[in-house]
Amino acid sequence: MTAYTATVTVRLKRGVLDPEAETTQQALERLGFELSDLRSADRFEVDLDAADADEAADRADEMAERLLANPTIHDYDVAVAER
Amino acid sequence: MVGVTVAVVQFGGSNCDRDAVRALEHLGVEAERVWHEDGLPADTEGIVLPGGFSYGDYLRAGAMAARAPVMTEVREAAADGVPVIGVCNGAQIGAESGLVPGAFTTNASARFQCEPVRLRVERADTPWTAAYDEGDVIEVPIAHGEGRFEIGEDAHADLVADDRVLFRYCDADGNVTDAANPNGSTDNVAGVIGERETVAVLMPHPERATLPDLGRSTDGAGILKAFA
């Protein structure tokens, strides 16, 4: 078994309204920053032991499918690194 | 738990459970709060997933409660035909647990909104709407920050084709307009039914529009009469 950190990034699907990101963008603009767009995402870092990187990724993928993301509104990706 | 007919499932952070029991008792329905860890009583004949902020809305509103073990029992009961209604946070839990399609997420306003809204009854042939006629306009309050109904295009087409929209936000004349949509919900959807008509969720609070002493509308009573 090897120790891995699986990083799961969950973001809204393209086209799904993100009022929190819009509000954050407006606040940045009020502070004088110039920007064209802003997107937010949630990042989960999952420490786990697995036989190999593929197994670690599969397990993190299932975590995203079943809880971390809501497939109706979210896309997600998984990146695995040895820890 | 002898004599319980309607189980109002209480999670940590539920806060409309007492209101639901009061409203149901007013309608002559036996109801009792059931702590989620205790599981459903054997004689449960109806289930309310009440409003509130279960698990502090961690991750997403309803996400944690939807994965609580009691929800397996709720899904099984729903599949057996036991009437189940999710209100507000209960609607979010219902969507997160797959009882109904779609998701409820952050209001387009990015604000928590607590206000009376009008709903058009889209179907009158369900237990939840038997007290109304199709096209009736009822007034029921909302109180949510994450009530915007989102659903993919294909799933939305299926939802409409299968006639599973129960209520849409509308104006006083029953027109479904953007101005009457409080939270940016897709297609003004305020409530939907599950695979069976005996399962429904909605963001507005019928239990807050049932007791005559509480406010200006008792229009929500018809929804809860499904349990009577």
- Over residues B183-212, the pLDDT tens digits come to 999 999 999 999 999 999 999 999 999 999
In percent, the amount of chain B with pLDDT more than 70 equals 98
Per-residue pLDDT band for B214 (boundaries 50, 70, 90) equals confident
Mean pLDDT of chain B: 96
Compute the nearest-CA separation of B121 from chain A (Å).
25
pLDDT at B1: 41
Compute the nearest-CA separation of A66 from chain B (Å).
9
Per-residue pLDDT band for B4 (boundaries 50, 70, 90) equals low
Q: How far apart are the first and last CA of chain A?
A: 12
pLDDT at B227: 96
Which residues numbered 61-80 in A keep a CB inside 8 Å of some CB on B? Answer: 66-68, 70, 72-73
The SS3 assignment for B6 reads strand
Give yes or no for a contact between B199 and B164, defined as CB atoms under 8 angstroms apart: no
Global pTM reads: 0.95
Per-residue pLDDT band for B2 (boundaries 50, 70, 90) equals very low
Nearest residue to B31 via CA among B14, B51, B6? B6
**Residue B83 Cα to chain centre, angstroms:** 12
| Paired strand residues for B48 | B8, B85
Which residues numbered 21-50 in A keep a CB inside 8 Å of some CB on B? Answer: 22-23
A14 touches chain B (CB under 8 A): no
Q: At residue B181, does pLDDT exceed 50?
A: yes
The SS3 assignment for B147 reads coil
A3 touches chain B (CB under 8 A): no
- Over residues B97-138, the pLDDT tens digits come to 999 999 999 999 999 999 999 999 999 999 999 999 999 999
Residues from B contacting A (CB-CB < 8 Å) are 59-60, 63, 67, 95-96, 101-103, 105-110, 148, 150-152, 155, 184
Nearest residue to B181 via CA among B166, B169, B165, B173? B169
- CATH code linked to domain A2-82: 3.30.1280.10
The conformation of residue B165, written as its DSSP 8-state character, comes to: E
pLDDT at A44: 98
Nearest CB among A20, A67, A70 relative to B106 is that of: A20
Tell me which of A39, A70, A75 to substitute to probe the interface with B (most B C-beta atoms closer than 10 Å): A70
Quick one: closest CA in A to B148, which residue?
A17
Nearest CB among B95, B101, B110 relative to A20 is that of: B110
- Over residues A14-69, the pLDDT tens digits come to 999 999 999 999 999 999 999 999 999 999 999 999 999 999 999 999 999 999 99
Q: Sketch the domain layout of chain A as residue ranges.
A: 2-82
